[in-house]
Structure 1
Amino acid sequence: MVLYDGYCEKCGEIYTDIKKKWCKPCQIINLKENLGNWTSENEKIDNFIQTIQLDINRYHNIIFEWIPYNQFDIIKEIDKSDFVTVYLAVWKSGPLEYDHYKKEYTRINNIKVALKFLSNSQNIIDEFSNEIKICSIIPTDSFNICEIFFKIYGISQNPNTKDYIIVIKGACCKKCGDKYIYEYVHYKKLNWCKQCSINELNKVCIKSGSEEIDNIVQKMQLKIDGCEDIIFEWIPFNQFDNIEKIKNDGFVTIYLAIWKDGPLYYKGNKETYKRKSYNNYKKVTLKYLQNIDNQFLNDEINSYSIKKFSGDALKIYGISQDPDTKDYIMVFEDGYCKKCGNQYTQICHKWCKPCQMNELKKA
């Protein structure tokens, strides 16, 4: 009988991960055998590291380590507070990653990491352990849950100051090195840097021709905190098609329309903002504001959400202006009922309670 190559060559048991030829019991044995090859010279820290190492469950789990300080080439300081200083550095030997062809762990050399120095930490090991546990060491298996987190490679110590150091993976922007990258997990990992995103938006977004309006737009863009946030824009009026009036109460007029290019989205693999071709010709609501000043406009705009996941809060895409009437226009998601012109009771389901009640009364 010929069996699939699913058994570990060392112990003869079925691989924990057959596809990657990874055997958890054998890897645990290897890690235990290696315990004598390193020490932080602090028993509590050593035990802490060993506990994490022996808790691996998947081939892709990070092997948490004690990393000698001479392994780092410091590039520059990127953040500082009273108790924490963060440096961008290169880890010369690099982390351990499992090579399923060789069926062993090998090191990935010369990778950029962030070193988070904890000042006066030599006597506060318990607090340090809590700081470590804030970071995610083992990648989540629940890919339907959105999480933002840093992963850490291990612990080090400055031999001069005796300050302990958290060695963080993927925490520095490849472009600027000055800000953290957020890892967003939702079926795939996206790297996002707020400062670089702001800089890019300043270059690619169209200007209105009015300094006051451009300032309003920029202030809204500065509110972004993640790659899923809506990018508030100045949208030229010629971008709208199939404009249809659904409500006019004298002060505000509501239209439905098609936004031809559609909104900007973050493209994670390119670390840039693009417009999705399949999202062109997006349905939007246009809210005309008549005879209002810029302060009122600013206050009105700031009352709306740019968060993609904010329940039934009406989401705003940007601002425009009718070239004929000079009325400013707030551009929202498709959130208004076509029958009555009022905002949907439940936007995500396009459900309008008053209209449904009227239909039920007629029935």
Structure 2
Amino acid sequence: AKKYPTNNKEFQVLYGISQNPDTGNYILVQNNSINLINWISGNEKIDDFIQERQLKINNYDDVVLEWIPYNQFNEIQVIGTNGFITVYSAIWKDGPLYKEINTWDIWSDGWNKNYARDSDKKVALICLHNSQDSIEFLLNKAKKYSIKHEALFVLYGISQNSDTNDYILIQNDPIVNIANWFNGNEKIDDFIQEIQSKIDNNGNNLILEWIPYNQFNEIKEIGKNGSITVYSAIWRDGPLHSNRYGNYTRNSNKKIALQNLLNSQNSVDFFINKV
């Protein structure tokens, strides 16, 4: 009960506490803005994280994070994998919550802002392999997402594969292969995700990615200086960037430079500081 805000206009409002006279169970009485079952995963850390995010909602463009039952997803198809994660596209039957403005409230002298769902929403399912063994890893990934709908990458919720028990991050339909977030080194993965999560949809953005080495052709050494060797190469897919209208395209077969840092795998912090 201590986690609830006192502002009547918040997304989740606690009106009071009651008690069932037959069972003796205490009851929290709150507004009916969301199916509260979508708070409950059965894992205390995940449930606390979801509730904490929901209780921070105070703007119309804030994302309502939910626990999403796995049976909500249809048309599940693999779109990428790299050994650490598998990314699927799917249709979320109910879809994410968003705030709609419909009627004028004379008491608050403002528009009523009720929640509706964007049903049959195409989403991406980021399945983190063996994540049931490391909840902190899962939550650290979830915390890096923006809470705004206009962000490039939006986290709608968390789910769990009922067959494998792997936890799943549910995000908006990606314009980038999300498998290119992950290389298996947590510090590098976190760095890439942190940079990507700061991108909005206002245009003129360049997307930082993990790029598989087999994407490079015509690799030729062009210079060397101590611990750094520089190569020219052709990147088959090429960089992903947006125009002023927010549309993303790739500049394929792009000539680029590869800076090979000698023994950098032994000092990831040093490597990241170079980026």
TM-score normalised per structure 1: 0.43
> Percent of aligned pairs with the same residue?
35
2:241 maps to 1:227:
yes
Question: C-alpha distance in 2, partners of 1:135/1:113?
Answer: 15
2:170 maps to 1:167:
yes
Matched with 1:281 is none
Question: C-alpha distance in 1, partners of 2:207/2:201?
Answer: 19
Evaluate the alpha carbon distance shift between residue 191 and residue 104 of structure 1 in structure 2; reply closer, same or farther with a 3 A threshold. farther
Greater per-residue strand proportion: 2
Matched with 1:126 is 136
Q: Secondary structure at the match of 1:90?
A: strand
Report which stretch shifted further, 46-55 or 81-90: 81-90
Matched with 2:47 is 46
2:11 maps to 1:27:
yes
2:113 maps to 1:112:
no
Residue 63 of structure 1 contacts residue 95 of structure 1 at CA under 8 Å; is this kept in 2?
A: yes
Residue 76 of structure 1 contacts residue 88 of structure 1 at CA under 8 Å; is this kept in 2?
A: yes
**Structure 1 residue 133: deviation in Å?**
1.2
Question: C-alpha distance in 2, partners of 1:193/1:169?
Answer: 16
Evaluate the alpha carbon distance shift between residue 89 and residue 187 of structure 1 in structure 2; reply closer, same or farther with a 3 A threshold. closer
Question: C-alpha distance in 2, partners of 1:187/1:172?
Answer: 11
Ranges in structure 2 where 5+ consecutive residues have no aligned partner = 1-6, 15-29, 104-112, 182-195, 209-217, 219-231, 259-275
Matched with 2:155 is 152
Matched with 1:69 is 70
Matched with 1:188 is 202
Question: C-alpha distance in 1, partners of 2:155/2:162?
Answer: 20
Evaluate the alpha carbon distance shift between residue 32 and residue 154 of structure 1 in structure 2; reply closer, same or farther with a 3 A threshold. farther
Q: Secondary structure at the match of 1:101?
A: strand
Q: Secondary structure at the match of 2:141?
A: helix
Question: C-alpha distance in 2, partners of 1:86/1:56?
Answer: 28
2:245 maps to 1:268:
yes
Matched with 1:252 is none
Letter in 2 for 1:58: N
Letter in 2 for 1:112: K
Question: C-alpha distance in 2, partners of 1:133/1:190?
Answer: 25
Q: Secondary structure at the match of 2:140?
A: helix
Letter in 1 for 2:127: F
**Structure 1 residue 137: deviation in Å?**
2.5
- Residues 69-92 of structure 1 show CA distances to partners (whole Å, capped at 9, x for unaligned) of 111013411111223111011111
How many residues are aligned here?
A: 189
RMSD: 4.1
Question: C-alpha distance in 2, partners of 1:32/1:178?
Answer: 39
Residue 207 of structure 2 contacts residue 239 of structure 2 at CA under 8 Å; is this kept in 1?
A: no
**Structure 1 residue 225: deviation in Å?**
3.0
Question: C-alpha distance in 2, partners of 1:48/1:184?
Answer: 21
- Residues 219-240 of structure 1 show CA distances to partners (whole Å, capped at 9, x for unaligned) of 5565843416xxxxxxxxxxxx
**Structure 1 residue 47: deviation in Å?**
1.2
Question: C-alpha distance in 2, partners of 1:125/1:183?
Answer: 21
Matched with 2:146 is 136
Residue 184 of structure 1 contacts residue 190 of structure 1 at CA under 8 Å; is this kept in 2?
A: no
Question: C-alpha distance in 2, partners of 1:193/1:139?
Answer: 18
- Residues 183-222 of structure 1 show CA distances to partners (whole Å, capped at 9, x for unaligned) of 885682578899xxxxxxxxxxxxxxxxx9xxxxx95565
Evaluate the alpha carbon distance shift between residue 124 and residue 302 of structure 1 in structure 2; reply closer, same or farther with a 3 A threshold. closer
Ranges in structure 1 where 5+ consecutive residues have no aligned partner = 1-22, 141-147, 195-211, 213-217, 229-265, 274-297, 304-363
Evaluate the alpha carbon distance shift between residue 186 and residue 108 of structure 1 in structure 2; reply closer, same or farther with a 3 A threshold. closer
Residue 66 of structure 2 contacts residue 156 of structure 2 at CA under 8 Å; is this kept in 1?
A: yes
Residue 10 of structure 2 contacts residue 57 of structure 2 at CA under 8 Å; is this kept in 1?
A: no
Residue 183 of structure 1 contacts residue 189 of structure 1 at CA under 8 Å; is this kept in 2?
A: no
- Residues 102-127 of structure 1 show CA distances to partners (whole Å, capped at 9, x for unaligned) of 52000001111110111112232122
Q: Secondary structure at the match of 2:89?
A: strand
- Residues 302-338 of structure 1 show CA distances to partners (whole Å, capped at 9, x for unaligned) of 59xxxxxxxxxxxxxxxxxxxxxxxxxxxxxxxxxxx
Letter in 2 for 1:158: N
Question: C-alpha distance in 2, partners of 1:54/1:269?
Answer: 31
Evaluate the alpha carbon distance shift between residue 48 and residue 168 of structure 1 in structure 2; reply closer, same or farther with a 3 A threshold. same
Residue 13 of structure 2 contacts residue 31 of structure 2 at CA under 8 Å; is this kept in 1?
A: yes
Q: Secondary structure at the match of 2:142?
A: helix
Residue 67 of structure 1 contacts residue 155 of structure 1 at CA under 8 Å; is this kept in 2?
A: yes
- Residues 258-301 of structure 1 show CA distances to partners (whole Å, capped at 9, x for unaligned) of xxxxxxxx35355569xxxxxxxxxxxxxxxxxxxxxxxx9xx8
Q: From the CA coordinates, give the structure whose radius of gyration is larger.
A: 1
**Structure 1 residue 42: deviation in Å?**
1.9
